Structure 1
Amino acid sequence: MTAAVSFPIWGTTARLLVTDPKRLDAARAALDVELTAMGAACDRFRADSELSRLNAAAGRPVRVSALFARTLKRALEVAEATDGVVDPTVGAALVAAGYDRDIAEVDRGGPAPRLVRRRVAGWRTVRLDGQVVRLPRGVRLDLGATAKALAADQAAARAFADTGCGVLISLGGDIAVSGPPPDGGWRIRVTDDHRDDGSVASGQDVVITTGGLATSSVTVRCWRRGDQRLHHIIDPATGVPAASCWRTASVAAASCVEANAAATAALVKGWVAIPWLTDLRLPTRLVRLDGRPFTLAGWPEGTAVAIEGTTGPVSPGGRAG
């Protein structure tokens, strides 16, 4: 038997499953600790978060918490490992595109924004010295993807340590598991939308037992202004929403951070993602704009077939160009 609970968080849905129903409350408490801490550190839409204070520092050095420093370090590692394709200095570009508040509150009226195609400042401009961070004046960070995935990894590990049972945590499609899985493994529905209840024909059921699985998509966090359809995946080379040939990328890896980094990079890289992910040997499901799925590196074509994630681009030796 498993037990589960779901609740809204950060403009998406958190879902917690445990293999021992008696330990659900303890696992939820562990999850809440991690979510509260990560929100206070990295929530771009909270004026009192560490990230907001850093973005407003106008080039001055800012001392941050150990959690923020660890999250930023992971984001910089992701940027290096993906050749800058997944870059945390896209904050200003997201604001320019209209993503300046929680996704449910994004302005969907009025004329299309006048987006300027310009490369973002780039992760190499960020200075992290222990727990002191300095951004160039005018540069704004967005740690959303890495922070959410890292929160899932840390919460799953904490919940397992506190309960001793198997745990699965999903934060809007960023999934981490820890501890012994249920018989047959953790069955996961992979679709464009993490809210899919199984009715979407383009979805697929898979099973994982360890590590993480992440899905990045341009179909959920999206909005329209005027004649422009916009979304939250920014191409750092242009500073505007990526013109991807994929609408969804799902990747299994050794951790949720690894999986998220690869999935997000795939959307920006487009067709080049195929040899990149193949070289990394990361099981991947890519969905083209016409809805046709494309699998590689061991991702199963059948239903509810187990997949095992491998070391991704953020681990030592995992970098691929």
Structure 2
Amino acid sequence: MVLTRVLLVALVASVFGNSGRRQVPASGSARGSGQGPPPGAAPPEAAPPPPPAFTQWPMLSVAGDDPATVDTAEWTLWDEPVRVSVTEAAKLDRAAELVGGELDAIDVAASRLRPDSELASAGDGSEVSPLLAELVAVALSAARETDGDVDPTVGAMLGSLGHDPDFGALVTTRPTRHVQVGQLAVYRPPTWEEVRLDDRRLTIPEGVTLDLSDTMRARAVDRCAALVAATLDTGVLVSVGGDIATAGPAPRAGWPLLVRDGPVDPAARVSLPGGAAVSTASSHHRHWDTAEELLQQIVDPETGHAARPIWRTATVAAFSALRATAVANASLARGVLAPSWLEALAAPARLVGNDRSLRFFGTWPTAAET
């Protein structure tokens, strides 16, 4: 683990993107206030409809010329850079220790890269640990809120497309699932709706492999940031790859972030308020060769084929990394329909096209571009 003192926290894009349907989702559900009408008040004629999903968004600003100094620990996990920054230097070592322990527990529970993970042997309807149940639940929730665009059942597809846990080695191409129609075997991709999670009892149908990578990393940084802030009473930023979450008090001018996917891509310097999160999804970082074509890890759950990207990257800000990564990955999946969807959500977002052109949405600060 390397301890450094930095002036800027760099946001590096994530590539565990998923693809899916091209429809704008209907309104989702959210928790109610839990407050009833005042005593003596007449009951309403009908219960109000639940608010739509993705309605709460943070306000970003342009990072100043003199960003706050923060103390940072860095290491690598899941083939991604991990960063922990705190506003109080004396608490950095303990913060890194807390984050390391939390990430290790999540890795043991749900990593697709570990054959000995709990997820690797789960799915027969028996009880799983509370942690794995939570990680599966948030993955299914993200799939529901994005109308299947972020689908955790792409794991088997990645294998059938020539992708193994070593990120790059070739495997024998094999079908994921088939439906027999007369003499014709028709490929039918699995979907998240076939996975059953009843309390802590997890049932995964035969031929379906869960890949929780997207939502697992996002949930991990959300959990880690909350844990450090609550335990150490300090402002904290935690990032894994392109997923960033913050908790506790931010530096005076906010958390400065450099949003850029690669050295030749457009860059933006934004300031993130405390308690907010950012996620960047990329369509081009990880790829590997097969005998037929160069495949990307953005897989379309409807067809089982690698999606043809319209956008190089999608960056979204939200009040949780889980929500940000769901919208960012769904934006890549929706392609030409992503702009209208993001406009409808009013999400603070930034799309980079294949020609490196830029589109901005919601309250994303356009003046942040450098």
Tell me the TM-score normalized by structure 1.
Answer: 0.86
Aligned partner of 2:257 among 163, 168, 188: 188
User: What corresponds to 1:139 in structure 2?
Assistant: 208
User: What corresponds to 2:26 in structure 1?
Assistant: none
Please say if residues 16 and 28 of structure 1, whose CA atoms lie closer than 8 Å, have aligned partners that are also in contact.
Answer: yes
Q: CA, structure 1 residues 12+134, in 2 after alignment: closer, same or farther (shift >3 Å)?
A: same
What is the Cα deviation at residue 18 of structure 1?
Answer: 0.6
What is the Cα deviation at residue 227 of structure 1?
Answer: 5.7
User: What corresponds to 1:46 in structure 2?
Assistant: 114
Structure 1 regions of 5+ residues with no counterpart? 194-198, 306-321
**Cα distance between partner residues in 1 of 2:293 and 2:360:** 30
Q: CA, structure 1 residues 73+201, in 2 after alignment: closer, same or farther (shift >3 Å)?
A: closer
**Cα distance between partner residues in 2 of 1:201 and 1:142:** 28
- Superposition map of 1:6-85 within 5 A: 6-54=74-122, 60-85=124-149
User: What corresponds to 1:312 in structure 2?
Assistant: none
Structure 2 regions of 5+ residues with no counterpart? 1-68, 177-185
Please say if residues 267 and 369 of structure 2, whose CA atoms lie closer than 8 Å, have aligned partners that are also in contact.
Answer: no
Question: Which amino acid counterpart does residue 100 of structure 1 have in structure 2?
Answer: D
Q: CA, structure 1 residues 160+200, in 2 after alignment: closer, same or farther (shift >3 Å)?
A: farther
Bigger Rg, structure 1 or 2: 2
**Cα distance between partner residues in 2 of 1:240 and 1:269:** 15
**Cα distance between partner residues in 1 of 2:334 and 2:215:** 18
Q: CA, structure 1 residues 36+301, in 2 after alignment: closer, same or farther (shift >3 Å)?
A: same
Please say if residues 265 and 356 of structure 2, whose CA atoms lie closer than 8 Å, have aligned partners that are also in contact.
Answer: no
Cα distance per residue 1:224-281 (max 9 Å; x no partner): 3346222222111111222121110000011000000000000011121112122211
**Cα distance between partner residues in 2 of 1:267 and 1:119:** 22
Question: Which amino acid counterpart does residue 349 of structure 2 have in structure 1?
Answer: T
Please say if residues 159 and 174 of structure 2, whose CA atoms lie closer than 8 Å, have aligned partners that are also in contact.
Answer: no
What is the Cα deviation at residue 114 of structure 1?
Answer: 8.2
User: What corresponds to 2:169 in structure 1?
Assistant: 107
Cα distance per residue 1:267-318 (max 9 Å; x no partner): 011121112122211111001111111111121111279xxxxxxxxxxxxx
What is the Cα deviation at residue 6 of structure 1?
Answer: 1.0
**Cα distance between partner residues in 1 of 2:369 and 2:351:** 17
What is the Cα deviation at residue 98 of structure 1?
Answer: 2.5
**Cα distance between partner residues in 2 of 1:11 and 1:115:** 27
Aligned partner of 1:231 among 276, 296, 302: 296
Question: Which amino acid counterpart does residue 84 of structure 1 have in structure 2?
Answer: G
User: What corresponds to 1:300 in structure 2?
Assistant: 365
What is the Cα deviation at residue 62 of structure 1?
Answer: 3.0
Aligned partner of 1:206 among 259, 270, 274: 270
**Cα distance between partner residues in 1 of 2:267 and 2:295:** 23
Question: Which amino acid counterpart does residue 101 of structure 1 have in structure 2?
Answer: P
Question: Which amino acid counterpart does residue 285 of structure 1 have in structure 2?
Answer: R
Percent identity reads 38
User: What corresponds to 2:356 in structure 1?
Assistant: 291
Aligned partner of 1:172 among 216, 224, 241: 241
Deviates more, 1:261-270 or 1:117-126: 117-126
User: Greater helix share, 1 or 2?
Assistant: 1
Secondary structure of 1:101's partner?
A: coil
Q: CA, structure 1 residues 115+216, in 2 after alignment: closer, same or farther (shift >3 Å)?
A: farther
Please say if residues 242 and 267 of structure 1, whose CA atoms lie closer than 8 Å, have aligned partners that are also in contact.
Answer: no
User: What corresponds to 2:284 in structure 1?
Assistant: 219
Runs of 4 or more consecutive aligned structure 1 residues displaced over 4 Å after TM superposition:
113-119
**Cα distance between partner residues in 1 of 2:187 and 2:252:** 50
User: What corresponds to 1:130 in structure 2?
Assistant: 199
What is the Cα deviation at residue 140 of structure 1?
Answer: 0.6
**Cα distance between partner residues in 2 of 1:264 and 1:119:** 22
What is the Cα deviation at residue 26 of structure 1?
Answer: 1.2
Q: CA, structure 1 residues 265+200, in 2 after alignment: closer, same or farther (shift >3 Å)?
A: same
Higher relative contact order (CA 8 A, sep 6+): 2
Secondary structure of 1:169's partner?
A: strand
The total of aligned residue pairs comes to: 292
**Cα distance between partner residues in 2 of 1:136 and 1:275:** 35
User: What corresponds to 1:4 in structure 2?
Assistant: 72
Secondary structure of 1:223's partner?
A: strand
**Cα distance between partner residues in 2 of 1:259 and 1:163:** 25
Please say if residues 118 and 237 of structure 1, whose CA atoms lie closer than 8 Å, have aligned partners that are also in contact.
Answer: no
